[in-house]
Structures are given as C-alpha cells and as structure tokens.
Amino acid sequence: MTKIKADPDGPEAQAQAEACLGERTYHELLVNLNPIAQPLASRRLTRKLYKCIKKAVKQKQIRRGVKEVQKFINKGEKGIMVLAGDT
C-alpha cells in the first residue's frame, strides 16, 4: 500500500506546524487532566514549579519515578515532591 502525502502548503499542515512550534497553553493542558487530581496548582504556581524543576535538572538534584523517590524518602532526604495531574 502506498501513502498519500498531504499538500505541504495546505491549511492542515500550517495548523500542525503551529501546534508543534509553541508550547501548549495552560488551558490546553487542562484537557488532559485526571478528574481525581485535586488540589491542582494554579497557573501562576505551575509556572514557578516548572522553573524550579528546570533548575533542579540542571543541578542533577531531581528524582524521577516512584521507586527512586521512595528510596530517598526512606533514607531521610528532604525535598519537594510534585505529582503530575495528567498521568
């Protein structure tokens, strides 16, 4: 079977390119929200959390995954835990 390529200058291609270029807005992310995710961080707090997480990644101070986080909690390491609302 052969694939039919879409017109690269068509309106669908432009909309798709625009969606890929920029980051998704806060309201677009809320569509994927799990209904039991309560309390949810406000828009302003979400931006601050993203900045904090970016700094932690640069300094190699971030823990990912349940097993790794649980291991460091049991060792007594202090920190902030952020759970995603769209998992």
Tokens of 27: 């309201």
* Digit-coded pLDDT (tens) for 53-78: 999 999 988 888 889 989 999 999 88
Q: Which domain holds residue 49?
A: 42-86
CA 37 to chain centroid: 14
Amino acid at 83: L
Predicted TM-score (pTM) of the model is: 0.54
On whether residue 23 sits in a domain, the answer given is no
Tokens of 82: 């952020």
On whether residue 51 sits in a domain, the answer given is yes
C-alpha–C-alpha distance, residues 13 and 21, integer Å: 12
* Digit-coded pLDDT (tens) for 10-31: 555 545 545 544 577 878 877 8
On whether residue 46 sits in a domain, the answer given is yes
Q: How many domains does the chain have?
A: 1
